[in-house]
């Protein structure tokens, strides 16, 4: 038997109780880690970690140390007195966000735990996420199914080096900090291709260009070759001096209702992001993609 297995089995209870500064019960059973609560008081009464078989590979041994830190993080930083409300989907998403949040708190309190939790996350992806992901792709599962399956690793990635939660973590560098660029490009390939200063513009008040845009907009509304055939084709939005372009994957229901883009609640987030980057909303060109069969001739702006 690997000596590391014997040492870790003996140390798990002592380390867990030391990190939580409590005498909480610690068990090593099954294959799932978790914090178990008293059904009446809601207070944590037991932390369970996966049992390490005698023939455990090093990857699992490393992962168990990370699972330990992840469960300690929940014990230390989650308010178990709160009760989740809403639909099951809302509860699930809230739990996933909470897991990502407490892991960030744990990494700040115990710096060495960050490496352990990364090992656990990698093991989780390799052993539980990747195979099923490949199967879903092979079976041509829906985008919704694939997204649901990848939600936890996606949120963990966003909460860490990408900086998605930086605005609610004052001690963290902002999501735009250059120190995050390498991780953002590695973890979200295609999201960031390059960073270009918007110091040039296209004058859409020029008569020929304006006439061409109006003609294209008219043709777009009459298009019958895309997935919006027979439905509303929301108008694009553009200012007199275009400095940048925003391309959405499809119109929102609010934009379809209004008949033009950049309308509704979702648009407020886009406008806020533009202003955060010291640009003017009026200087943008806003359009969307459409879905169509191969070989279809589309008229779009």
**Per-chain mean pLDDT for the chain:** 81
DSSP labels, 208-245: HHHHHHHHHHHHHHT--SBTTTTS--PBPEE-SEE-EE
pLDDT digits (tens, 9 = 90+) for 14-27: 999 999 999 999 99
Angstrom CA distances, 4 to 95, 108, 123, 220, 255, stand at: 32, 27, 17, 66, 59
CA-nearest of 268, 219, 261 to 239 is 261
CA distance 231 to 2: 65
CA distance 40 to 43: 8
Which position has the token pair 């300690």? 72
CA distance 156 to 201: 38
pLDDT digits (tens, 9 = 90+) for 68-110: 999 999 999 998 888 888 888 788 878 888 888 888 888 888 8
pLDDT digits (tens, 9 = 90+) for 187-237: 666 655 556 666 777 888 888 888 888 887 777 777 776 666 777 778 888
User: Hey, what domains does the chain have and what are their CATH numbers?
Assistant: 1-158 (no CATH), 200-286 (3.40.470.10)
CA distance 220 to 233: 7
Helix/strand/coil for 203:
strand
């Amino acid at each position: 038997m690997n000596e590391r297995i014997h040492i870790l089995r003996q140390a798990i209870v002592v380390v867990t109780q030391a990190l939580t500064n409590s005498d909480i019960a610690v068990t090593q059973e099954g294959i799932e880690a978790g914090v178990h609560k008293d059904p009446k008081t809601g207070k944590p009464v037991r932390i369970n970690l996966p049992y390490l078989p005698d023939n455990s590979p090093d990857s699992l041994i490393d992962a168990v140390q990370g699972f330990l830190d992840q469960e300690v993080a929940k014990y230390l930083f989650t308010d178990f007195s709160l009760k989740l409300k809403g639909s099951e989907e809302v509860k699930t998403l809230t739990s996933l966000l909470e897991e990502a949040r407490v892991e960030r708190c744990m990494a700040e309190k115990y710096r060495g735990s960050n490496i352990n939790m990364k090992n656990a996350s990698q093991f989780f992806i390799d052993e539980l996420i990747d195979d099923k992901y490949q199967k879903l792709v092979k079976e041509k599962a829906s985008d919704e199914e694939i997204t649901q399956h990848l939600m936890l690793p996606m949120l963990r990635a966003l909460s860490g080096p990408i900086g998605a939660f930086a605005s609610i973590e004052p001690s963290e560098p902002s999501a735009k900090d250059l120190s995050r660029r390498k991780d953002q490009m590695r973890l979200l390939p295609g999201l960031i291709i390059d960073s270009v200063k918007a110091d040039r513009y296209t004058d859409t008040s020029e008569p020929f260009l304006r006439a061409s845009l109006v003609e294209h907009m008219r043709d777009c509304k009459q298009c019958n070759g895309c997935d919006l055939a027979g439905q509303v084709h929301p108008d694009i939005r553009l200012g007199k001096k275009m400095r940048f372009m925003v391309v959405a994957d499809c119109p929102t229901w609010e934009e379809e209702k209004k008949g033009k883009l950049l309308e509704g609640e979702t648009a407020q987030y886009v406008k806020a992001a533009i202003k955060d980057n010291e640009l003017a909303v009026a200087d943008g060109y806003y359009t969307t993609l459409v879905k169509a069969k191969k070989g279809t001739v589309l008229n779009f702006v």
